[in-house]
Amino acid sequence: MNTSKPRGLKDLFPLVLVLLTLAYPFVVYFHIDRVNPRWFGVVLLTVALIRLGVTWHERRKSDWVMTTVIVLFCFGIILLESAILLRSYPVIMSVGMGVLFLSSLLDEHTLIERFARAGGKTPPEQAKGYLRNLTLIWGVLLLSNGVVAAWTAWYGSLATWTWYNGLLSYVIFGVFIALELVYRHFYKKKHNIIDD
């Protein structure tokens, strides 16, 4: 007998958010000449507010800070009707996430540990150092991506911005994830770490 609960908006929203994030540079690229930046800001603000409503009870202080930054940024796009601000959205997201990763190093549990615990896993004590280093690397990688994204937004052509933020940055993150998974396998073997 299947006892799984039916999927609701809360379960589907993360997938929708990922798809919107992937599509964002291409939507801007194909419509920036015909659609006022204000309307992109309205859509981004609407998505941020829906996300806030869906995850209201699970949010940490860092989530509130990130949401506040995104909302203020969206209001900036709406009020200023700025194409440069519109192209800076990936910068805000990447730098914001990078800061969250790095600031979590000051907490008892890093962001990656929190992700693991939220998924029902308790990382063993001997993995703590590895997870802290991984959190540091993710933070630096995200901040570096933000710097490149900023260059493409402020100095690059629209095509360069779309190519980097819509494809190349995801390829870089994908390669990093694949390399980390391979290294994690050898690290677990070396330190006799067995998953729950």
CA distances from 23 to 125, 142, 145, 165 (A): 39, 19, 18, 10
CB of 103 closer than 8 Å to CB of 62: yes
The reported pLDDT for the residue numbered 49 is 81
The reported pLDDT for the residue numbered 3 is 47
d(CA 86, CA 90): 9
The reported pLDDT for the residue numbered 90 is 94
R_g of the chain computed on alpha carbons = 19
Find the helix or strand (DSSP H, E) in which 130 lies.
helix 128-154
C-beta atoms surrounding 161 within 10 Å: 22
Q: Which of 141, 134, 142, 143 lies closest to 187 in space, CA to CA?
A: 134
d(CA 31, CA 33): 5
pLDDT along the chain (196 residues), means of 10: 51 68 84 88 84 67 77 92 92 93 90 82 83 95 97 96 95 96 88 70
The reported pLDDT for the residue numbered 196 is 56
The reported pLDDT for the residue numbered 32 is 83
The reported pLDDT for the residue numbered 60 is 67
The reported pLDDT for the residue numbered 29 is 87
The reported pLDDT for the residue numbered 2 is 46
CB of 157 closer than 8 Å to CB of 164: no
d(CA 79, CA 88): 15
The reported pLDDT for the residue numbered 1 is 44
Q: What is the DSSP letter of 168?
A: I
The reported pLDDT for the residue numbered 122 is 80
